[in-house]
Amino acid sequence: MSSNSLSSAPDDSAVRGASHTHPAPVIPGQPDMWVLVMIEALTFSAYFVVYTVWYRFKPAMFLQSQAQLDLRLGVVNTLIMLTSSWSIARCVGETRAGRHRAALTYLWITAGAGVLFSVLKVNEWRTMAGQGFGFETNLFFSFYYFLTGMHLLHVLVGLIMLGVVFHQLTNPARRSRELVETGATFWHMVDFLWVIIFTLLYVMR
């Protein structure tokens, strides 16, 4: 899957940095992941546009339903996702520098944030369902469960990818920088998709 091993080759980014020259443009991670990211972004964009069209058709129902959500919880979820994005970016930086122990620490922070986000989301679902707001309550809640459910699915896939990154970083024979960057790119996508979902479901009026 990867052809770039830190254990067998010097870190070219460190060489670039040491010479104080402007680094040559490179795609972080595998280009295939960027194709996936753009496909996912386009797919979710279609969901977001359809949601907004319905929001404009039934503003009263959407606003009343939206008011049932806890905006503070949405903010906390967003701060958790942003923190996880920051930590996986640090993980990439430490991996490039060859500091694998530090990279693992940041990887654990990312995974912990991902798990915390998932637990809070499932708990939010339970709370909403307990108050009688289910998938079939109305169109807003159908969108709410669909969008947050699709996103949580991506969080779980992201956590599996973080597991692959963990496997790379803990094994000196592997340590593929490219694979770490690829996993990070997916995780950042999970972050920016949530940033949009947060705005649509919790903020937009």
Partner 1 sequence: MTRSAPVTLLLVWAALAGITLLAWWIGAHHGSGPLRPQAAVALSAIAITIVKVRIIMREFMEVKHAPPLLKRITDAWLALFAVGMLAAYLI
> Applying CB under 8 A, which residues contact partner 1?
13-14, 17, 23, 25-28, 34, 38, 41-42, 45, 48-50, 52-53, 55-56, 59-60, 63-64, 67, 71-72, 75, 78-79, 82-83, 85-86, 89-90, 92-93, 96-97, 184-185, 188, 191-192, 195-196, 198-199, 202-205
Find the angle CA(170)-CA(27)-CA(110) to the nearest 5 degrees: 40
Smallest separation, CB 29 to partner 1 (Å) = 9
Contacts of 9 (CB under 8 A, 6+ apart): none
Smallest separation, CB 8 to partner 1 (Å) = 19
Smallest separation, CB 58 to partner 1 (Å) = 11
CB closer to partner 1 out of 148 and 185: 185
Cα 15 to its chain centre, rounded Å, is 30
Strand, coil or helix: 137: coil
Smallest separation, CB 42 to partner 1 (Å) = 7
Smallest separation, CB 10 to partner 1 (Å) = 14
Residues 164 and 178: beta-carbon distance below 8 Å: no
CB closer to partner 1 out of 20 and 173: 20
CB closer to partner 1 out of 96 and 100: 96
Give the phi and the psi of residue 172 in degrees, each rounded to 5.
Answer: -60, -20
Cα–Cα distance measured from residue 116 to residue 107, given in angstroms and rounded to the nearest whole number:
14
Q: At what angle do helices 59-66 and 31-57 cross, to 10 degrees?
A: 110
